[in-house]
Amino acid sequence: MRNLRASGLIIYRIVSSEIEYLLLQTAYGHHHWTPPKGHVDPGESDMETALRETEEEAGLKGNHLQIMEDFKKELRYEVNQKPKTVIYWPAKLVDPNLAVKLSEEHKDFKWVKLEEACQLVEYADLQSVLRDCEAFLKTAHKIAFPSNIGALQATR
């Protein structure tokens, strides 16, 4: 049985010192919300797929993004009784005002803070990835946001 493989980017931007995540609503099925992602094509690396899918689905190119390659999360689950692996990396949108251009695969998009993102994505494993991503951004990169300024000052 062939393992399905996909990859994507957890696109975020900083607005008023807050992290906002880009979620896309699919135009098919039960219209679930997800970061940009898609199936890895033959001969393509996971990162090449993530960049291609982000450009196809949201109109955001690699030069619009700062990818955090030192944080990588893998999800494993079954789709139609086949194992699937999805890999995500966080990527900061360099210009937070850059317009998102949806493909026909999606009907809507939202920029949302962590808690709303977790409500929209529905799946516990993806919620966990989003929470881990936010913790990584706030600690490993010492990004000062209102919710962790006190903790950062205590470490100096």
Q: Where are the alpha helices (H) located in 16-123, listed in sequence order?
A: 46-58, 114-121
Q: What is the model's pLDDT at position 150?
A: 44
Q: What is the CATH number of the domain that holds 140?
A: 3.90.79.10
Q: What is the pTM of this model?
A: 0.87
DSSP letter for 146, please.
G
If the chain, 156 residues long, is cut into consecutive pieces of 10 residues, what is the mean pLDDT of each piece? 87 92 92 95 97 98 95 92 95 96 96 97 95 91 53 41
Domain total of the chain? 1
| pLDDT score at 154 | 41
Spatial distance between the Cα atoms of 30 and 134, rounded to a whole number of angstroms: 27
**What is the structure's pLDDT at 19?**
94
What pLDDT score does 140 carry?
67
Using alpha carbons only, give the angle 107, 113, 115 rounded to the nearest 5 degrees: 100
Q: Residue written as tokens 């049985």? A: 1
pLDDT of residue 80: 86
Domain that holds residue 137: 4-154
User: Residue 139: its pLDDT value, please?
Assistant: 85
